[in-house]
Structure 1
Amino acid sequence: MEGFSHILKRQRDFFQTGRTKDVSFRIEALTSLGDMIRSHETDIMTALKKDLNKSDFDSYISEMGILLEEIRFTLKHIRDWTQPRKVKTTMTQLGSKAYIYSEPYGIALIISPWNYPLQLAIAPLIGAIAAGNCAVLKPSELTPETSKLMADLINKTFPEEYVSVVQGDADTTQLLLKEKFDYIFFTGSVSVGKVIMEAAAKYLTPVTLELGGKSPCIVHHDADLKLAAKRIAWGKFINAGQTCVAPDYLYVHKDIKEQFLKTFKETIIDLYEDIVKKGEFTRIVSERHFNRVTGLLSSGEILHGGNYSKDTLTIEPTVLGSVTWDDPVMQEEIFGPVLPVLEYENESAMIQNINDHPKPLALYIFSESKEFQDAILDSISFGGGCINDTVMHLSSPYLPFGGVGESGIGAYHGRGSFDVFSHQKSILKQTTTFDLPFRYPNRKDALKQIKRFIK
């Protein structure tokens, strides 16, 4: 299979013209990207329906709407972000001025996943463009309709030497990783993230890895159970649970567990029963993933749901009880509409159990107690999350989104997207009006003078 050095050469030649660094050029590109999404809304919804059976509602709120808001926010702030930022100097740098310049890395490789095939491809592209880079985008082969449409639209919107889309399977990704990119942005599984990082090490290419993990959702005894049930059900079962920040398991306080589960089941029926019956519930992306998720249903006891159809690759919202940390469903990220429930009574033991496992991408706390909220936030390391809500933190351009440890490296969204694709170049502008003599070794009292400044 042919490599992709020809694409990189064309992009590097284009980048070296300096056009992508012009702020007006970036603004024009971002505006075109927004126009592309708006003018092809129906086409995008159709493609997402074919790939994942997504409803128009889900397609807009979880894919297009987020992107349009991200573009709007970036356009509003980009002129400020691209200005050199003046910072303070020290006493030993008397007479000087210090600045931080944000400069683009050059050619960025963006490898995106299948679960939100438009959003998770275009969101980092917004950052790459805003920072002044060229980009090669590799979408997932598991959502072929959306990937093909995205390739066609981007090809019509941007020249290949600026933004290029490469379609293909894992072999294509391996070939891309053999090229010398200036930055790699990957969203996907922990296992593939390790492969990406290993490949990047060859050229010491900087990376951002947006991965996943088992994100806990804690329901304390003082939580608003009805509201918690609704927000947890929505956060878990949107996109059929195929969301990197979906609650992966519930930790419910023993005192309210029975009451909460009753409310939770009623909420699932209210929100999703009709959608499932009408065949409008999002499907699992492939037969392999479907078999993996249905295989987890043997863990514990099915408290609600559990039905599935291999013909349509759909699994109804399912709740599992009598689950332990040793069950298969607790050994991997579920990435499907299956939610296991654990109970706790001792807060310290619950915190310890979470900390005994890899750091999660997200964590959610449902409680009215600030003391309890602070105890969780202070005791557990995780990427980000919500108090009395789920998933919504990733929709704010003011909150950098990313993981920690095995759940990821780096963060983006809003200013974070611009920063992640920018090298921070530090510059000290020194005065020529005078020259401090004690910095030089031939002055007898140099050490004494320096110590007056440095105490």
Structure 2
Amino acid sequence: MDNLNSSPSPVRWFMVLRRSKPVESPVRKFSTSSLCEEVLTKVRDAFSSGKTKPYSFRLLQLNAILQMLEEHEADFIEALNKDMHRPRFETVLSEMITVKNEAMYAINNLQKWMKPKTVQKSMISLLDNCFVQKEPVGVVLIVGGWTFPIEQSLIPMIGAVAAGNCVILKPSENSSQAANLLQILLPQYMDTSCYHIIRGEHRDVLTVLENKFDHVFYTGDRTIGKQVLQVAAKKLTPVSLVLGGKNPCYVDKLCDLRVAARRIAWARFINAGQNTLAPEYVLCHPDLKERLIHELRNCVREFYGHNPRESPDYGRMACTEQYQRVKDLLSTGQVAFGGETDDGDLYIAPTVLTDVQEPDAIMEHEILGPILPILTTQTLDEAIDFINKRDRPMTIYVYSGNQEVISQIMHRTSSGSFCSNDSMIQNLNTSLPCGGIGNSGIGIYRGKYSFNTFSHRRACVLRTTTAECVTHLRYPPYTEKTLQLIKWACTLSKKENSSWCCIL
């Protein structure tokens, strides 16, 4: 590829440093929609040239992402440690392995995904070639989240690249070191005429959307997500939203409470609780509450010691704004354990709350911090009713040794995903879709689902002119005889379960 290592256009808010090792550098951000429009024009020209469509080009770019992750893993670990005191173990597990697997999965399956899909034909179309062709939608805007900034930027980007699109990526400013690193590294590995990074605050995406994109993929909070949807609708731009929600976790009496506590505590307190798939609250029977709190306290001590602030394995909040927002939630209910904070260090201890009421702010908004409220319900039906009267969440968890309890919750509730007897493990499987439903998001992604999200499925029929003896039946003058023949040829047959369709 001739321009793989070519220098990018000198746009004010877009800067690239070509070094073997990235270093900290001043960041230039866009300030007006016109600047984004300038880059968008160049990217759209690149897409119009058709260079992103061939299998060889897509494969080259996917391998470039994989190579970047492998060669600069230590740099990503360091950046996320600076952003949120993230332990190396957590970054490797939750971001590096996950994104590498996503890229490798796309590389291994891309050729199969790109193949046209043949469809069943009717008697009238037996001589035709009928298939669905998957084509790139065009220029995609991806707005990454801040809780897992590498994963939430690159996983949707991998899907968009695999589908043959051009991409403008806007990583989150709440994880500024990670955003800086992506801004420096991506142009070193990927075609700079097709893939660009823009910088700015999350709210600035609304200004960027004054330009026309072919698809917008947004990860972030619900308030801005709704605004993104409204602004994109003015230009009829398709939108995918990953918004998070209040993920319930039901703990049944018939479960291994020790194992349940370990898995819940790990999922809630990894990355200092900054995770849209973490359990947001626990529902359990009143008789179980104190035992569960005891086990959770033991797990926190086992994981992080008696003072988590001194543990090398416990993170910090990503920015002052998020820290203060989560700290304010500690005034809700009663602290069962934890609750310590440090403004200077953006530290909030792993905390469990009790006596939380439904109208409390912590039950209305996604926590994204190391706080776990525990509420009680007398029966399984009461727990299901509690879940169902709230907005549908990103995921639902249930811990039980009773398969009937698991089945009841799975079939009587609705959520983006569901997992029994573990938490967040569904996110590690590249074959499973990820995404919310209702207020927790729109659309799905991961693996083939990402490829489909960023592809247009084009219905194609390749005919000849040799069947005019049949197709003439559709022409005037109309007669009852020709109508009956057409009905016979086109009507669905229940017995054969056929998909006859009229292609006259």
Q: TM-score, structure 2 length as denominator?
A: 0.87
- 1:37-436 equivalence runs, <5 A: 37-170=69-202, 172-273=204-305, 276-278=309-311, 280-435=313-468, 436=470
Deviates more, 1:107-116 or 1:321-330: 321-330
CA distance, structure 2, for counterparts of residue 255 and residue 354 of structure 1: 20
Is 1:215–1:360's contact at 8 Å kept on the other side of the alignment?
yes
Q: What CA deviation, in whole Å up to 9, does each residue of 1:13-36 have, x standing for no partner?
A: 111111100101110111011111
Measured at CA, do residues 95 and 394 of structure 1 come closer, stay the same or move farther in structure 2, by a change above 3 Å? same
Q: CA deviation at 1:326?
A: 2.0
The answer for the alignment partner of 1:452 in structure 2 is 488
User: Which amino acid is the alignment partner of residue 474 of structure 2?
Assistant: R
The gaps in structure 1 that reach 5 residues or longer are none
User: Which amino acid is the alignment partner of residue 438 of structure 1?
Assistant: L
Is 1:185–1:208's contact at 8 Å kept on the other side of the alignment?
yes
Q: CA deviation at 1:153?
A: 0.2
3-state DSSP of counterpart to 1:342: strand
Q: CA deviation at 1:91?
A: 4.2
Q: What CA deviation, in whole Å up to 9, does each residue of 1:103-124 have, x standing for no partner?
A: 0011100001111111111111
Is 1:240–1:337's contact at 8 Å kept on the other side of the alignment?
yes
User: Which amino acid is the alignment partner of residue 366 of structure 2?
Assistant: E
The answer for the alignment partner of 1:35 in structure 2 is 67
Deviates more, 1:382-391 or 1:321-330: 321-330
Q: CA deviation at 1:431?
A: 4.9
Superposed CA RMSD in Å reads: 1.6
Is 2:267–2:424's contact at 8 Å kept on the other side of the alignment?
yes
Deviates more, 1:443-452 or 1:96-105: 443-452
Is 1:7–1:161's contact at 8 Å kept on the other side of the alignment?
no
3-state DSSP of counterpart to 2:174: coil
Q: What CA deviation, in whole Å up to 9, does each residue of 1:274-304 have, x standing for no partner?
A: 6532354211112222121111112111111
Q: CA deviation at 1:195?
A: 1.1
3-state DSSP of counterpart to 1:401: coil
CA distance, structure 2, for counterparts of residue 241 and residue 72 of structure 1: 28
User: Which amino acid is the alignment partner of residue 203 of structure 1?
Assistant: K
CA distance, structure 2, for counterparts of residue 231 and residue 280 of structure 1: 16
The answer for the alignment partner of 2:8 in structure 1 is none
Q: CA deviation at 1:191?
A: 0.7
Is 1:302–1:321's contact at 8 Å kept on the other side of the alignment?
yes
User: Which amino acid is the alignment partner of residue 424 of structure 1?
Assistant: R
Q: CA deviation at 1:8?
A: 0.9
Q: CA deviation at 1:432?
A: 4.0
CA distance, structure 2, for counterparts of residue 295 and residue 204 of structure 1: 39
User: Which amino acid is the alignment partner of residue 160 of structure 2?
Assistant: A
**What percentage of aligned pairs have identical amino acids?**
36
Q: What CA deviation, in whole Å up to 9, does each residue of 1:26-47 have, x standing for no partner?
A: 1011101111111111111111
3-state DSSP of counterpart to 2:168: strand
User: Which amino acid is the alignment partner of residue 59 of structure 2?
Assistant: I
Is 2:216–2:239's contact at 8 Å kept on the other side of the alignment?
yes
3-state DSSP of counterpart to 1:222: coil
Q: What CA deviation, in whole Å up to 9, does each residue of 1:332-378 have, x standing for no partner?
A: 11110000001112222221121111110111111122222121111
3-state DSSP of counterpart to 1:412: coil
Q: CA deviation at 1:219?
A: 0.7
Size of the aligned set, in residue pairs, is: 455
CA distance, structure 2, for counterparts of residue 372 and residue 381 of structure 1: 15
3-state DSSP of counterpart to 2:70: helix
Q: What CA deviation, in whole Å up to 9, does each residue of 1:138-184 have, x standing for no partner?
A: 11112111111110001212243211011122464233111111110
CA distance, structure 2, for counterparts of residue 329 and residue 205 of structure 1: 33
CA distance, structure 2, for counterparts of residue 201 and residue 42 of structure 1: 41
Deviates more, 1:320-329 or 1:249-258: 249-258
Is 1:297–1:306's contact at 8 Å kept on the other side of the alignment?
yes
3-state DSSP of counterpart to 2:271: helix
CA distance, structure 1, for counterparts of residue 123 and residue 374 of structure 2: 58
CA distance, structure 1, for counterparts of residue 50 and residue 286 of structure 2: 62
The answer for the alignment partner of 2:7 in structure 1 is none
The answer for the alignment partner of 1:20 in structure 2 is 52
CA distance, structure 1, for counterparts of residue 210 and residue 127 of structure 2: 47
Deviates more, 1:60-69 or 1:323-332: 323-332
Is 2:203–2:224's contact at 8 Å kept on the other side of the alignment?
no
Is 1:187–1:209's contact at 8 Å kept on the other side of the alignment?
yes
The answer for the alignment partner of 2:475 in structure 1 is 440
CA distance, structure 1, for counterparts of residue 351 and residue 110 of structure 2: 44
User: Which amino acid is the alignment partner of residue 67 of structure 1?
Assistant: V
User: Which amino acid is the alignment partner of residue 85 of structure 1?
Assistant: K
Is 1:440–1:446's contact at 8 Å kept on the other side of the alignment?
no
Q: CA deviation at 1:92?
A: 5.0
User: Which amino acid is the alignment partner of residue 227 of structure 1?
Assistant: V
Q: CA deviation at 1:98?
A: 2.1
The gaps in structure 2 that reach 5 residues or longer are 1-30, 493-504
